[in-house]
Amino acid sequence: MIKIRNIHKAFGDNEILRGIDLDVDKGNVVVILGPSGSGKTTFLRCLNALETPQQGSIEFEGAEPLKVDFAARPSKKEILALRRKSGMVFQQYNLFPHKTALENVMEGPVAVQGKPQATARAEAVALLEKVGLGDKIDLYPYQLSGGQQQRVGIARALAIQPELMLFDEPTSALDPELVQDVLNTMKGLAQEGWTMVVVSHEIKFALDVATTVVVMDGGVIVEQGAPEQLFRNPQHERTKRFLQQIRAEA
């Protein structure tokens, strides 16, 4: 289990997160919904310290436990240990433009984890095949569609063998016809038992795949629950208004 407690994050006087508590069980998929400005992406980035909270803690239980207490000003070593626990998939792919798909996926294992080139290469090829890009390994990002670039991004995040996969609106920058390939890849990961936290507005994906749906607004969690229960019978007025809005936009 991953225990997230009392996460606070502010930029100057602008308080973005106001005390987030969340438990993520191993193998579960948590989908985070909420209006623009609710703090979803900031929260996701706090989970691997791309943004550093001013308060709160993140604890990974299991064979290699880790607890990072942000109020105690964790060391660089602790932050790096936290980052090695998770792989991030970004909205805008963030691939190295001068590296091939294969080289992008190999970068983390070789440069960060010190894996031998041959081992990293074999694992990277297998991951690109897993995401349906086994025939694209020598292509550069500009030679790939947006959906293909995002699937390279997923393979790159998987390459460090994280305990937690983080997805920041992974389909928001894609043309509609490319969205499903990425969602199918993510569904496959969920079926394999990967632990995932996903910021997304894809309601069908949440219904099909999520074990828990979390609704954020104003830097707090206003409601969470099983997908069918939350979508069919939301309890909080803010959740009802948000769901009505995104259904109207669909």
d(CA 114, CA 107): 10
- pLDDT for residue 151: 95
For 95-151, the pLDDT digits (tens) are: 999 999 999 999 999 988 889 999 999 999 999 999 999 999 999 999 999 999 999
- pLDDT for residue 188: 95
Query: Looking at the structure, do residues 81 and 8 belong to the same domain, yes or no?
Result: yes
Query: Looking at the structure, do residues 75 and 108 belong to the same domain, yes or no?
Result: no
Domain, as residue range, for 156: 95-161
Query: Looking at the structure, do residues 81 and 116 belong to the same domain, yes or no?
Result: no
- pLDDT for residue 172: 87
Amino acid letter for position 61:
E
- pLDDT for residue 250: 61
Query: Looking at the structure, do residues 38 and 74 belong to the same domain, yes or no?
Result: yes
Beta-strand relationship, 86-89 and 164-168: parallel
State whether residue 128 is helix, strand or coil: helix
Query: Looking at the structure, do residues 62 and 24 belong to the same domain, yes or no?
Result: yes
Tell me, what CATH number does 214's domain have? 3.40.50.300
Query: Looking at the structure, do residues 229 and 242 belong to the same domain, yes or no?
Result: yes
Give, in order, the Cα–Cα distances in Å from 77 to each of 49, 57, 81, 114, 204.
12, 16, 6, 16, 39
Q: Does residue 132 fall inside a structural domain?
A: yes
- pLDDT for residue 177: 84
Query: Looking at the structure, do residues 105 and 50 belong to the same domain, yes or no?
Result: no
Order of strands, edge to edge, in the sheet holding 55-60? Answer: 14-24, 2-11, 55-60, 66-69
Q: How many domains does the chain have?
A: 2
Q: Around 204, how many Cα atoms within 13 Å sit in the side-chain half-sphere?
A: 5
Q: Does residue 90 fall inside a structural domain?
A: no
What percent of the chain shows pLDDT beyond 70? 99
d(CA 235, CA 239): 7
Q: What's the token pair of residue 180?
A: 């499903």
Q: What is the pLDDT along the chain (250 residues), one digit of tens a residue?
A: 999 999 999 999 999 999 999 999 999 999 999 998 999 999 999 999 999 999 999 999 988 899 999 999 999 999 999 999 999 999 888 899 999 999 999 999 998 888 999 999 999 999 999 999 999 999 999 999 999 999 999 999 999 999 999 999 999 888 888 899 999 999 999 999 999 999 998 888 999 999 999 999 999 999 999 999 999 999 899 999 888 887 776 6
Which of 136, 161, 186 corresponds to the end of one domain?
161
Query: Looking at the structure, do residues 80 and 175 belong to the same domain, yes or no?
Result: yes
Backbone angles phi, psi at 120, to 5 degrees: -60, -40
Give, in order, the Cα–Cα distances in Å from 58 to each of 1, 53, 172.
11, 10, 27
Query: Looking at the structure, do residues 109 and 129 belong to the same domain, yes or no?
Result: yes
Query: Looking at the structure, do residues 149 and 99 belong to the same domain, yes or no?
Result: yes
The DSSP bridge partners found for residue 198 are: 31, 167
Query: Looking at the structure, do residues 50 and 78 belong to the same domain, yes or no?
Result: yes
For 169-179, the pLDDT digits (tens) are: 999 888 888 89
Query: Looking at the structure, do residues 80 and 117 belong to the same domain, yes or no?
Result: no
Percent helix, strand and coil across the chain, each to the nearest 5: 40, 25, 35
Residue with token string 């805008």: 92
